[in-house]
């Protein structure tokens, strides 16, 4: 179903948040259980790191796409959208024009921006949010720019993202040895839940107050 209202967007986000949070909480319960042997917990922590990363990447990619779809269906005039969304609209056309190596092919873009900038915009939302299977702080910063949301809330989480979550997940994905103890794993669970919540709040707040529009 198309996402046309803030209520529909929030419902979609809540659903994604709900099932992911439940699975992560279940993982936390198993990790802290006294009925699971030490050997099995060691395996759990390794696979759990990969699962935590998968939820983080999946949530950002999914919710980011939902938000762009919502903005696209608001049909905001081009001159009322923030610059980043105008860039998303014309990026493909600019690339094609640049590859043609002719200044004249840029004319249709120039004409729209100067003479037809009141046309209702359709922001692309399919295949825009690219996590590159490596959602570290650098990639996240680019995604938040595409979405026009604040990155500052994630700035203090860069070490967590890069050195702990993404780096450890890469060790697991490449079949390398990785040691994670129970305290560290529980802490990672809480931190990933916090990251997902921050991203959720940023997107929802931006939709509600209409921060995708020019002031």
Q: What is the pLDDT of residues 131-179, one digit of tens each?
A: 988 999 999 999 999 999 999 999 999 999 999 999 999 888 887 777 8
Residue 88 lies in a domain: no
Find where tokens 């790191």 sit: 49
pLDDT at 211 over 90: yes
Mean pLDDT within 65-87:
95
Residue 174 lies in a domain: yes
For residue 176, the model assigns a pLDDT of 76
Q: In terms of DSSP H, where are the helices of 121-181?
A: 137-147, 152-155, 158-159, 167-173
pTM: 0.90
**Residues of the domain holding 151:** 6-75+122-208
Give the best-scoring range by mean pLDDT among 13-27, 78-92, 98-112: 13-27
Q: Give how far Cα 194 sits from Cα of 95, 141, 169, Å.
A: 37, 17, 18
Q: How far apart are CA 80 and CA 96, in angstroms?
A: 25
For residue 119, the model assigns a pLDDT of 87
Residue 110 lies in a domain: no
Domain count, the chain: 1
Per-residue pLDDT tens over the stretch 118-131: 889 899 999 899 99
């Amino acid at each position: 179903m198309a996402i046309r209202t803030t209520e529909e967007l929030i419902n979609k986000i809540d659903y994604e948040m709900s099932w992911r949070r439940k699975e992560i909480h279940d993982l936390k319960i198993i990790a802290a259980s006294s009925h699971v042997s030490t050997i099995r917990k060691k395996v759990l922590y390794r696979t759990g790191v990969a699962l935590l990363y998968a939820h983080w990447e999946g949530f950002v990619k999914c919710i980011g796409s939902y938000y762009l779809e919502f903005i696209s269906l608001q049909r905001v005039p081009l001159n009322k959208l923030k610059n980043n969304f105008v860039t998303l609209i014309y990026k493909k056309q600019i690339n094609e024009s640049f590859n043609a190596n002719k200044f004249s092919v840029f004319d249709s873009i120039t004409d729209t921006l100067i003479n037809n900038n009141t046309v209702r915009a359709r922001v692309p939302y399919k295949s825009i949010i690219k996590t590159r299977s490596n959602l570290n702080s650098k990639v996240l910063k680019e995604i938040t720019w595409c979405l026009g949301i604040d990155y500052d809330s994630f700035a203090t989480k860069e070490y967590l993202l890069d050195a702990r979550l993404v780096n450890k997940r890469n060790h697991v994905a490449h079949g390398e040895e990785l040691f994670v103890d129970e305290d560290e794993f529980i802490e990672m669970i809480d931190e990933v839940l916090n990251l997902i919540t921050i991203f959720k709040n940023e997107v929802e707040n931006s939709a509600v107050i209409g921060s995708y529009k020019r002031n």
